[in-house]
Every structure is written in C-alpha cells, then in structure tokens.
Amino acid sequence: MKSISINKDLRQGLRLCIAIIAAVLIGHSGIFTHHVVLLSTWIILAVLLVNQTTAGTPLRQGILIYTVMLAAVLSASLLNEKYLALIVSSLCFMLAAYGAYLINLKKLPVNHPLFLVIYFSLILIISLQIMPVNLLLHDIMLALIIGAGIGIISHLCLWPDSTENNFRQSMAIILQGLSKYVHSLIDENSAKKKHILYLLQEGNQIETVLDSRQSAYEIGFNRRLRSGYRFFALQIGRLLEILFAMEYLISKDVIAKMPDDLAEKSFAVLRTNNELLDALSHYFRDQASFAKPSESGDDIAALDQALATVVPNQLALLDISPDYVMYADFARELKDMREVLRGLLNALP
C-alpha cells in the first residue's frame, strides 16, 4: 500500500500541535506541586524552540537549543543587576534578529550563531521578568528537560523528515524531466520553442534538491550522505548548464547547418546520452531492478572523426566560418554531457 505523502510544512505543524498538547497534559499531570501554570509554560516554550530544528540533525540541534536555554536560565539566576541585564539582553536580541534578517533568515540553519544568540537573549529576557523568587531553579531545569524531550521525540517519531527519500524522489523527477527535454531535441517534429519548457517546468524540483543539499551541510549530518548529496547536486547543475548551452546552439540552427554525416553522428551520441539519462532516472525511481548500461564510446570516436572532416584542425582557421565554431561547441557539449553521465553512473552503488 502506498504511503500518504504529507507536505513538509504540514508535517511540522502537526508535530508541533501534538507536542504542545503533550506538553500541556504533562505539565498539568501533577508532576509539579507549585507554580503549575508557570512551569507548564516553560515546557511549552522549550517544545516550541526545540521543534524549530531542520532536517538531518534534529537530535543534535534539539540538544544544542536545550543547552542554550539552560545557560540562559542559569545566567538569569546568577545576575544581580536585573534591569541592566534586561537592557543588554534586549539589545542583543534586537541586533541578532536584525543581523539574521539582513543575511536572509530562510537560508540560515537553526544552529547558526545568530539564532543561538536570539534564543539565549529571548530566554534570558523571559527569565528575568517572570522568574519568581520562590521558584526553585531545578523545577525550571526539569521543565526544560521535559519540553526538550517532547520536542526531540516528536521530531524523530512523528512523520520524520526522510532526507534520503526526499532527495531520491526529487532527483528522479528532475532526471525524468531532463530525459523528456533530450527526447524533444532528438524528435525532429517537436517545435524548438517547446524544447526549453521541459527544463523550466522542473524548477521547483531543482529548488528541492538544492534545499536538500543545503540541509546536508548541517553540523552532525552523516558525512557520507553529505558528500553524495553535494556530488549529485553539483553534477545535475552542470548537466543543466550543458543542456542550456545546447539549446542556445540549436536556436542558432546549428543542426540544420550541419553536414548530414556530422548531424547523424551528433544525434547518435545524443541518443546514447539519453539512454544513460533514462538509466539514471530509472535507478532513482526503482533501485531494486537497476542494471548499469554499458557504452563503449565508439559513437564519441565516430563523432570526432566526422567533425575532423568538416572543421579545420588549426584553431586559426576556425574564424573562416562561424559555423565551424558552433559545430565544435555542439560536439564539445555532447562529450561533456557524456562525461557527466558517466560520472553519475559510476558513483551509483
């Protein structure tokens, strides 16, 4: 039975709602004998902050946020000049928040130093204002431990973010779109203006892959997965650049101007490239039945021979006709595409 796919933001919202409900129930379950409402508020606050972790390292990030909260509470209990500390912490909170805004808040990981300063200042401000004199420090520490535990467990157990599955599914969709794009280049009946649409329609999925690559650089993330994410994301980006360059050359009627033999050899290489692209797409869709394709490179050698009969060997003679430069560029893009696809296939287990 196919599992139900839940949007990432919806998963986060559901996790947070369930965690807050659990925090309220535990806070009023009789675990505290005094200041029940205030200590329950500390539990909810810890749940809210710990649940702001990103994909990849929820356990480490949750422990880091809890440590910052605990340090803020301990600092508040040791400070004598409450009003001066309140002013300084408020200034730190505003400056750190403004710095995060200038850098671009969405691109910062939750364990960025600016976020840690924001969390520390916020908890310190709250502690200085609402911490009663007769409220024992260990009660607050217990509330923070309970809240952090609820937040971490909810993030790990309730609809956890499977970064490897998300990355694999996104790669499958992107490679399938690129395969359609290459098919449109091979199909002589397709309109040239529609070629680029196959590529542009995959923009959202490309952003998903880039987001996955960014989350893979969180401290504590599996280093083997991190290197794989980076390699595939960079190679897909290189493949996109090659296809855009080929689209530009095709818009200049490079195929129509080519001699028949050179055009035939170029399309032969393009078809083989597309077969390798289909194999990559098939691997990310269904790993179990994947078989690596074999290609000898004879089509590349035939392309070089056909190109040598048309394009002068000396670089100085290429200026005789701009078509020569376009022929050489198109052949170079085909060979670069083959090199990228070989690298991706060789990287598969």
Predicted confidence (pLDDT) at residue 68 exceeds the cutoff of 60: yes
| Helices marked H in the chain | 8-27, 36-50, 58-78, 82-103, 113-130, 137-157, 163-186, 192-200, 203-215, 223-251, 254-257, 260-285, 298-310, 322-347
Mean pLDDT, rounded, for 164-171 = 74
Q: Residue 191 above 50 pLDDT?
A: no
Gap between the Cα atoms of 168 and 282, Å rounded: 11
Q: Where are the domains of the chain?
A: 8-157, 163-347
* 41-50, 166-175, 336-345: least confident range: 166-175
pLDDT at 58 over 80: no
The more confident residue out of 194 and 268 is 268
What would the mean pLDDT of 67-95 be, rounded to a whole number? Answer: 81
pLDDT tens digits, residue range 218-249? Answer: 554 556 667 777 788 788 888 888 888 887 88
DSSP 219-259: TTS-HHHHHHHHHHHHHHHHHHHHHHHHHHHHHTTHHHHS-
User: What pLDDT score was predicted for residue 3?
Assistant: 40
CB 204 within 8 A of CB 173: no
Please give the pLDDT value at position 196.
47
Across 25-54, average pLDDT: 82
> Hey, what are 231's tokens?
């390699």
Instruction: State the DSSP H helix or E strand holding residue 131, giving kind and residue range, or none if neither.
Output: none
pTM of the model: 0.61
pLDDT band at 1 (very low <50, low <70, confident <90, very high): very low
- Cα–Cα distance between 208 and 196 in angstroms, integer? 20
> What pLDDT, on the 0 to 100 scale, is given for residue 205?
53
What fold does the segment set 163-347 form as a domain? Methane Monooxygenase Hydroxylase; Chain G, domain 1 (1.20.58)
pLDDT for the residue 337: 92
> In angstroms, what CA-CA distances link 188 with 15, 184, 250, 275, 308?
51, 8, 12, 18, 25
